[in-house]
Amino acid sequence: MGFMNRDIVSIRDFTRDDLESIFGLARRMENEGYDRGMLRGKRVSLLFYEPSTRTRLSFQAAAQSLGADTVWFAGVEGTSVMKGETLKDTIETVANYADAIVIRHPYDGAARWAAEITTRRAARGEKKVPVINGGDGRNEHPTQTMLDLYTIAQSQGRIDGLTIGMVGDLKYGRTVHSLAYALGMYNCRIRLVAPDQLQMPPHVLSYLSSRGVECTLHTSIDEIIGEADILYMTRIQKERFPDENEYNRVRGLYRLTRKTLQPAKPSMRVMHPLPRVDEISIDVDDDARSYYFKQAGNGVPIRAALLAMVLGGIS
Ligand code: NCD
């Protein structure tokens, strides 16, 4: 399927070939540099209803590297959302101002709804404005997964055959939902480390088992650290807990330190979508196995490749 004007809502909408073509273009851009003429005259709108540092800034950097400009808000303070404007009306409006919309929203399914709104708009004879999901509630974060897979392949030379541990808040963490769905397309072993109440949701587990993925559940990092090729740490998603007492029971439960890392292979890499709170101690930053800041850097080539494909029809 071509990428021109395609909505990027769920990682499940992509095949392994689709992902490989994004990685190929991202690699080319990293090696050969960005062509500032590629998206000249295009405008990307960034609607961030929730806090963001990496996703918003790397999308903006990516757009600008290809010559596109951006219009955006970061937080609803100062927007008409404060006056009670619905998501539908905001999207209907912004679709007039931009060639693509990147949206981050606290509600699961908000990006799918936004994509439906611009599709209906196109049915009325307007131009289709593709919607890119920058994270919807606790549901998905597909562009994060694209850069995560790119990072895994970059750091290990492959994705197939690896043992990948995911640690922390696997219930509310949208990055690990999308990542697990994507890994179901590869031939990996998955190790899920979380307290029982924050384990991976059943819909993800049953998908993995339907794909025949070897996946085991754990409560301690020590159980998997020796065999992992990738240790994907996550933040406990405080803002998603219905009750603060529940959060207080699990906060600070996992903390990766130099000592915990000792049994890990020298080739193992620690990833984290960031922001980190206290789940990776800062002395791990100087360990050769830490890879999370390099991972964050990969947001620019991946998002530039995506924008080039969606807005420029580049392949
Ligand atoms: C993540 C998110 O927003 O889901 N951040 C990111 O985009 N890199 C992870 C998090 O907030 O914990």
Residue range 37-49: mean pLDDT, rounded = 98
Active site residue: 6, 42, 105, 141, which one? 141
pLDDT of residue 1 exceeding 70, the answer is: no
Which atom in ligand 1 lies closest to the alpha carbon of residue 237? 12
End-to-end CA distance of the chain: give it in Å, rounded: 11
pLDDT band at 2 (very low <50, low <70, confident <90, very high): confident
> Does 11-140+297-312 match 142-296 in CATH topology?
yes
> What one-character-per-residue DSSP string does 105-129 give?
ESSTTHHHHHHHHHHHHHHTTSPP-
Q: What is the pLDDT of residues 257-281, one digit of tens each?
A: 999 999 999 999 999 999 999 999 9
Which residue, by CA, sits nearest to atom 12 of ligand 1? 235
Instruction: Flag whether pLDDT at 118 surpasses 90.
Output: yes
Q: CA torsion sign, 281 to 284 to 289 to 293?
A: positive
Give percent of the chain above pLDDT 70.
Answer: 100
Homologous superfamily of domain range 11-140+297-312: Aspartate/ornithine carbamoyltransferase (3.40.50.1370)
* Domains of the chain by residue range: 11-140+297-312, 142-296
C-alpha angle with apex 218: 213 to 223, nearest 5 degrees? 105
How far, in Å, CA of 193 to CA of 187, rounded? 20
Query: How many angstroms does the Cα of residue 174 sit away from the middle of ligand 1?
Result: 8
Q: Tell me if residue 83 is catalytic.
A: yes
Whose CA is closest to atom 7 on ligand 1?
Answer: 55
Mutation to probe ligand 1, out of 274, 278, 293 (largest number of atoms < 8 A from CB): 274
- Provide the residue type at 295 as one letter: Q
Reported as type and span, the H/E element at residue 102 is strand 100-105
Strands 269-271 and 189-193, by their bridges, are unpaired
Q: What's residue 315's pLDDT?
A: 85
CB of 174 closer than 6 angstroms to any ligand 1 atom: yes
Q: Which one from 6, 42, 55, 151 is the annotated catalytic residue?
A: 55
Q: Let me know: does 281 contact 141? Beta carbons within 8 Å.
A: no
Q: Whose C-alpha lies nearest to ligand 1, atom 1?
A: 273
CATH match for 142-296 among 3.90.226.10, 3.40.50.720, 1.10.150.240, 3.40.50.1370:
3.40.50.1370
What average pLDDT does range 188-198 have in this prediction? 97
**pLDDT tens digits, 131-174:** 999 999 999 999 999 999 999 999 999 999 999 999 999 999 99
Active site residue 203: no
How many angstroms separate the Cα of 251 from the Cα of each of 44, 147, 225? 37, 27, 21
